Amino acid sequence: MKTILAFLAVLAAFVAAPFALGPYYTTLIIPILAYAIALTGLNLLFGYGGLLSFGHAMFLAIGAYASAVMGAKLGVRAFEAQLIVAMLASGTVAALIGLLCLRYTTIFFSMLTLAFGMIFHSFLFKFYDLTGGESGISVPRPSLFGASFASMSKTAFLVGPFYWYALGLFSVMFLLMALIVSSPFGLALKAGRDNERKTSFLGVPVFKVRYVAFILSGIYCAVGGAVLAVSIGAADPELSYWTQSGNMIFIIILGGLGQLFGPIVGAVSFTLLQDTLMANTEYWRFALGAILALIIIFAPRGILGLITRALEWRRR
């Protein structure tokens, strides 16, 4: 119940945003939604499953390239079809590398995912015919539910139909995740994070549970990546670079690790923070690093943790 109310509050803020902020800022919100979708998936693996992946930018890129290849090379403009291909491609890749990566946990898992991410990054560079190499592929405007919106300007399309589409997509993906983390599967995943051996002696096949979480997180990242590609108008190899994976982890920790609203709170805060810092100082990376350190030391449950604590304090 609390989850639904909080979700409605978040939804209301995103519904009001385009009217309150105008087109320029609205175009900045679409990447926030894209990251929120992707990170909602990564949070399942990292926050609830305790498995820190340094390679999930790969799945973000798979989603972006699926949308780009479908739209630009195969002429399939229907965004729904692009999303389905993105999810299938990402799910397949996750199913393959998950089998290898999940044989390990802790730092070994992280390093293996990092390695696969790097391999994928260089694949994007080398396979020029498919991926466009260094310059990537530009993403033509997709059609949404069969409507092509050909008469609209690019900005009008993004802040109009596409914004609402992305918000709808985020809502569906978020609510599905709300069910997943409170399901018997979600419990088993968290149990395996807290104590793998104990959990397997409770009849839970921990590897299989993690495997499913890994595939789901890959699928979520691909959906986020497809939305991101449309909003920036291109799929390029930097999307899969390991610093991108690092940013994704940063955003989850900033928002609140292992909490359902962590990714959306993190994505909003990160964008605001980065924008403010970049506008005011050339040392913005230094400032971001310092903030990450402070969050980990003083607010390990992220901004959401601070909000929860403040609410509890006021109630007293």
Partner 1 sequence: MTEMLLRALNITKRYGAFTALAGVSFDISKGEVVAVVGPNGAGKTTLVNTLSGLFMPDEGGVMFEGRPVAGLGASALALRGLARSFQLVTIYPSFTVAEMISVGAFARAGQTFRLLRPSATCRREQAQVREVAAAFGLEHRLETTCSALSQGEKKLVDIASALTLRPRLMLLDEPTSGISSADKDRIMETLLAAAQRLGVESLVLVEHDMELIARYATRVIGLKAGSLVADMPPDAFFRDPAVIETLVGKVPHNALG
Pick one of 42, 57, 69, 206: the residue that binds partner 1 (CB under 8 A).
Answer: 206
Pick one of 103, 198, 285, 309: the residue that binds partner 1 (CB under 8 A).
Answer: 198
Pick one of 22, 168, 205, 300: the residue that binds partner 1 (CB under 8 A).
Answer: 205
In the region spanning residues 154 to 183, those forming contacts with partner 1, defined by CB under 8 A, are 176, 179-180, 182-183
Residue placing its CB nearer to partner 1 in the complex, 163 or 170: 170
Is there binding between residue 204 and partner 1 (CB under 8 A)? yes
Residue placing its CB nearer to partner 1 in the complex, 101 or 188: 188
CA gap 304, 302 in Å, rounded: 5
Is there binding between residue 195 and partner 1 (CB under 8 A)? yes
Residue placing its CB nearer to partner 1 in the complex, 77 or 190: 190
Number of residues near partner 1 (by CB under 8 A): 27
> Which region among 115-123, 142-150, 206-214, 227-235 touches partner 1 (by CB under 8 A)?
206-214
CA gap 122, 125 in Å, rounded: 5
Pick one of 10, 38, 188, 230: the residue that binds partner 1 (CB under 8 A).
Answer: 188
CA 163 to chain centre: 17
Residue placing its CB nearer to partner 1 in the complex, 182 or 281: 182
Residue placing its CB nearer to partner 1 in the complex, 194 or 282: 194
Helices (H), the chain: 2-43, 57-68, 79-101, 106-126, 128-131, 154-157, 163-182, 184-194, 196-200, 206-232, 242-255, 262-280, 284-298, 302-315
What single DSSP character describes residue 239? G
3-state secondary structure of 139: coil
Residue placing its CB nearer to partner 1 in the complex, 168 or 205: 205
In the region spanning residues 277 to 316, those forming contacts with partner 1, defined by CB under 8 A, are none
Pick one of 17, 118, 191, 287: the residue that binds partner 1 (CB under 8 A).
Answer: 191
Is there binding between residue 40 and partner 1 (CB under 8 A)? no
Half-sphere exposure of 141 (CA within 13 A, CB side): 18
CA gap 291, 229 in Å, rounded: 28
3-state secondary structure of 150: coil
3-state secondary structure of 145: coil
Q: How far is the CB of 210 from partner 1 (least distance, A)?
A: 12
Of 38, 43, 17, nearest to 261 by C-alpha is 43
Torsion of Cα atoms, 265 then 266 then 267 then 270, to 10°: 120
Footprint of partner 1 (CB under 8 A): 176, 179-180, 182-188, 190-191, 194-195, 197-206, 208-209, 212
